Amino acid sequence: MKEGKAWGETTLVYNSQAASVHYLKIKPGGFCSEHRHTRKKNLFHVLRGRLSVLVWKTEGPVDRTDLQAGDTFTVDPGQWHKFETTEGAEILEIYEARLEGPDIERRSTGGIQRKAGGQPGRSGEGTHLINRGPGLKS
């Protein structure tokens, strides 16, 4: 889906719960608003032209990064930022959602299978399980 913007246009290329990819065509002199994303990492990959990304840190001056075709730059969640270009640019903008908390649910405990003589073995070869111990993750 293509969407017109004051600075050019954006087209949604891919979207899932964890990430989205947009193709941006930015007009010469185009810039976006100063904004931030609370839960999304924002990655810019320049396909054509040049792009500047400005990031406002909590302390100190504005950080300006100038990119050209082939360059990639990432803005972490919560950072105020904006992009701008003097000559126009085509970029991929990738949003990666920050997943909160653990992302795994276990049904068993991992370990090392050993044959009766202490050598590593495969399941079904007279092996038994040696747990890794308390506090170690499988």
pLDDT tens, 56-89? 987 777 999 999 999 999 999 889 999 999 999 9
pLDDT in tens, 17-69: 889 999 999 999 999 999 998 888 999 999 999 999 999 987 777 999 999 99
- Report the CATH number at residue 37: 2.60.120.10
Q: What DSSP string describes 26-68?
A: E-TT-BPPPB--SSEEEEEEEEEEEEEEEEE-SSSSPEEEEEE
The answer to whether residue 6 sits within a structural domain is: yes
- Give a yes or no: residue 113 inside a domain: no
- In this model, does residue 3 exceed pLDDT 90? no
* Torsion angle, alpha carbons of 3, 9, 12, 13, to 10: 150
Confirm whether 135 is domain-assigned.
no
Provide the domain limits for residue 84.
2-97
Residue 125 maps to a domain: no
| Residue 11 covered by a domain | yes
112 located within any domain: no
Give domain status of residue 45, yes or no.
Answer: yes
Q: How many Å apart are CA 93 and CA 131, to the nearest integer? A: 44
How many structural domains does the chain have? Answer: 1
> 54, 44, 56: which is closest to 89 by C-alpha?
44
In a domain, 74, yes or no: yes
Q: pTM of the full predicted structure?
A: 0.69
